[in-house]
């Protein structure tokens, strides 16, 4: 078992959306620890927010399990290049597509590029997210509320709709929700509300696509150490991040990768409509 850092972490702040290299301690994405076994050999995946954080950890794991990957990201070019390098070191193809997924046309571009560059699509990981912290509901601008919904839930609909003509029986859609779907943080009201919507979207979509043999599941992370944290939270909260869960620390992106691998694995053929909680011992009941 890896001895991961525990709070207090150094107080730190970044501009949105944040970068991996500026974080202390540096997140673990499984660069040194994840060893693949060919569980997903020959499959093709799209991962949104694949440049850093959970998305990077999933990209590393998928590549080492035999997957070619399109990495969708906003504008974090250096982080995205680092992730692509790790995918290519595993002997798999990496395609980078920057841009804003709140735009439906860009979501269609992502899927079209994946089909053309990878030769098909088997796995869609809807992982990218936007959040911001506010002490009062009155402080949340209308534009911020709308942006959070556009990035976190509207984009999932656009991507799924574009992907469906290219997905066949056995394909897998995996959405990143959050512990906030069940235990909403009032300081993250917009974000938490979208995460509840994602969980409902996942459950409804799983039923809608069952006859086509397409599985739909979601992963609900607890507090995870990613660039989203120092770029969206006050420095004093960053220092204490994760201390509220039973494990008394933030989770590392590497600790979520196995859940995404399991849900994409064709051997998980009876798992659909599920939420996998990875929360450092905090129950979701």
Single out the residue of 125, 88, 100, 95 nearest to residue 112, CA to CA: 95
Helices (H), 223-285: 228-232, 235-239, 257-264
pLDDT at residue 2, rounded to an integer: 86
Average pLDDT of adjacent 10-residue blocks, the chain of 285 residues: 92 93 96 96 98 98 98 97 98 98 98 98 98 96 98 98 98 98 96 98 98 98 96 94 97 98 98 98 90
CATH T-level assignment (fold) for domain 44-278: Rossmann fold (3.40.50)
Confidence (pLDDT) at 276: 98
191 is annotated as an active-site residue: yes
pLDDT at 35: 96
How far is Cα 231 from Cα 84, in angstroms, rounded to an integer?
A: 23
Element (H, E) at 218: strand 215-221
> Domain locations in the chain?
44-278
Distance of alpha carbon 123 from alpha carbon 45, whole angstroms: 4
Which member of 9, 158, 191, 260 is catalytic? 191
Tokens, residue 215: 């599985």
Kind of pairing, strands 94-98 and 123-126? unpaired
Q: Nearest 5°: phi and psi at 127?
A: -120, -25
């Amino acid at each position: 078992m890896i001895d991961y850092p525990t709070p207090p972490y150094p107080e730190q702040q970044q501009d949105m959306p944040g970068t991996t290299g500026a974080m202390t301690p540096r997140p673990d994405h499984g660069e040194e620890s994840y060893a693949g076994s060919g569980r997903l050999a020959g499959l093709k995946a799209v991962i949104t927010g694949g440049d850093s954080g959970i998305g990077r950890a999933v990209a590393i794991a998928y590549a080492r399990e035999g997957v070619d990957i399109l990495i969708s990201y906003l504008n974090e070019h250096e982080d995205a290049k680092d992730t692509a390098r790790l995918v290519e070191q595993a002997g798999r193809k990496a395609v980078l597509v920057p841009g804003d997924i709140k735009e439906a046309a860009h979501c269609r571009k992502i899927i079209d590029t994946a089909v053309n560059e990878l030769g098909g699509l088997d796995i869609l990981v809807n992982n990218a997210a936007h959040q911001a912290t506010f002490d009062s509901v009155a402080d949340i601008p209308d534009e911020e509320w709308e942006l959070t919904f556009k990035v976190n839930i509207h984009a999932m609909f656009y991507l799924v709709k574009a992907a469906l003509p290219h997905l066949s029986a056995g394909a897998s859609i995996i959405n990143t929700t959050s512990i906030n779907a069940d235990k909403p943080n009032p300081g993250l009201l917009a974000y938490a509300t979208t995460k509840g919507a994602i969980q409902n979207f996942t459950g409804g979509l799983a039923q809608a696509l069952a006859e086509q043999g397409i599985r739909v599941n979601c992963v609900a992370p607890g507090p995870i150490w990613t660039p989203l944290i120092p770029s969206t939270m006050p420095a004093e909260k960053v220092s204490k991040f994760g201390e509220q869960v039973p494990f008394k620390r933030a989770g590392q992106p590497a600790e979520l990768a196995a859940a995404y691998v399991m849900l994409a694995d064709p051997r998980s053929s009876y798992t659909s409509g599920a939420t996998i909680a990875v929360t450092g011992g905090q129950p979701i009941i």
